[in-house]
Amino acid sequence: MFAQERHQRIAALLEERGRWSVRDLQARTGASAATLRRDLAFLARAGRLVRSHGGVMHPGLGGAEPDFERKLRTAAAGKRALAAAALALVPARATVFVDAGTTTLEAGRQLLGRAGTTVFTNSLPLLAEPTGGQARVVALGGEVRPLSRALVGGPALAWLEHLRFDVALVGASGLEAAGPSTTELLEAAVKRAVLGRSRRAVLLADATKWAEPAAVRFAGWRGFSDFVTDRRPDRAARTALARHGVRIHVAH
C-alpha cells in the first residue's frame, strides 16, 4: 500500500470511528510500527488527526480542523478576488452548483445578485443569505456536518442523481499533481458526484494549498475545466494541469 493510500485509509477509519489505538490502526493498515508512526506524524502536521496517548482521534473531536468562522475570516480579500475571477466564467442565466466552503461561499454570495441564475448548494451559510429576489436558490437535502456547515450523506447524493449543472464551483482543502483533496469522506462524495453532473467544473483554491494534499482525494484534474487561484503555479504544477487541459486563471 502506497503512503497516500494508507493516509486515505487512516482518514476513512477515523470517519467511521472517531478514536483508534495505534495498535488497532497498525492491524487495519498492515503497516509496520515505524511506517505508521511516520504516517501519523505527517497527518497530525497536516491537521488531519490529533495524537493522543496510545492513539489518535478525528480532528473534529480534537479541535484541530479550523472552525468555519475562523476560516471565513482568513484572507477574506483574497477569497473575494477568487470568487470574482470564477464568476467571470459563469454565463448569464446558468444553473450553477456552489460547493460548501468559505471561498465558494463568497462566490455564491456574488452569484445571488444575478437575475435568472439558478443556484444549487449544500452550503448552509449560503442558504441563509438574502437573495434580493434575483437568483433562484435550491438546497440539497442531507445531514449537516457542523465543522463545514455542509449538507452531506445519502439524501444529498440522491438529489444529485436527478440534477445537471451548467457550471460547478468547487473548493478543496489540498492540491497536488494527482488532483484536489478534502478532509472528509462525505464531503468528498458530494464533490465527486457534482463533477460527474456538470458541463464545466471550476476549482477555486489559493496557491498555499498546492503540494499540501488533504486526506481524501475526490477527483483527478481531468474532472476540471478551470482552476482559479491567486498565484501562478510553479512549472511542475502547470505541467500537471496542462496534461489534462485545465485552464489556469489567476485572480488579481
Residue 46 belongs to what domain range? 3-62
Q: Which pLDDT does position 63 carry in this prediction?
A: 45
Task: Report the CATH number at residue 122.
Answer: 3.40.50.1360
CA-closest candidate to residue 156, choices 146, 144, 169: 144
- 115 and 220 co-located in one domain: yes
Mean residue pLDDT across the chain: 89
CA-closest candidate to residue 159, choices 200, 123, 190: 190
Q: Which pLDDT does position 227 carry in this prediction?
A: 98
According to DSSP H, which parts of the chain are helical?
A: 3-16, 22-29, 33-45, 59-62, 68-73, 76-87, 102-111, 124-127, 154-160, 185-195, 235-243
Distance, in Å, from the CA atom of 98 to the CA atom of 117, rounded to the nearest integer, reads: 12
Q: Which pLDDT does position 64 carry in this prediction?
A: 47
Task: Report the CATH number at residue 18.
Answer: 1.10.10.10
Q: Which pLDDT does position 55 carry in this prediction?
A: 83
Distance, in Å, from the CA atom of 145 to the CA atom of 9, rounded to the nearest integer, reads: 20
Given a contact cutoff of 8 angstroms between Cβ atoms, the answer to whether 138 and 120 are in contact is yes
pLDDT tens digits for range 26-82? 999 999 999 998 999 888 877 778 777 678 887 765 444 455 666 666 678 889 999
Instruction: Please give the grid coordinates belonging to residue 237.
Output: 504544477
- 128 and 155 co-located in one domain: yes
Distance, in Å, from the CA atom of 49 to the CA atom of 216, rounded to the nearest integer, reads: 13
- Of the three residues 14, 47, 62, the one that is the final residue of a domain is 62
Residue count of the chain, please give it.
252
Handedness of CA 142, 60, 188, 135 (dihedral sign): positive
- 114 and 212 co-located in one domain: yes
pLDDT tens digits for range 68-93? 666 666 678 889 999 999 999 999 99
- Of the three residues 62, 80, 96, the one that is the final residue of a domain is 62
- 49 and 112 co-located in one domain: no
CA-closest candidate to residue 251, choices 127, 84, 117: 84
- 228 and 103 co-located in one domain: yes
pLDDT tens digits for range 126-147? 999 988 879 999 999 899 988 7
Cell 512549472 -> residue: 235
Residue 116 vs residues 85, 90, 177: alpha-carbon distances, Å: 20, 12, 37
Predicted TM-score (pTM) of the model is 0.74
- 138 and 13 co-located in one domain: no
Q: How many domains does the chain have?
A: 2
Q: Determine which of 53-67, 101-115, 188-202 has the lowest per-residue pLDDT on average.
A: 53-67
Distance, in Å, from the CA atom of 13 to the CA atom of 220, rounded to the nearest integer, reads: 23
- 80 and 56 co-located in one domain: no
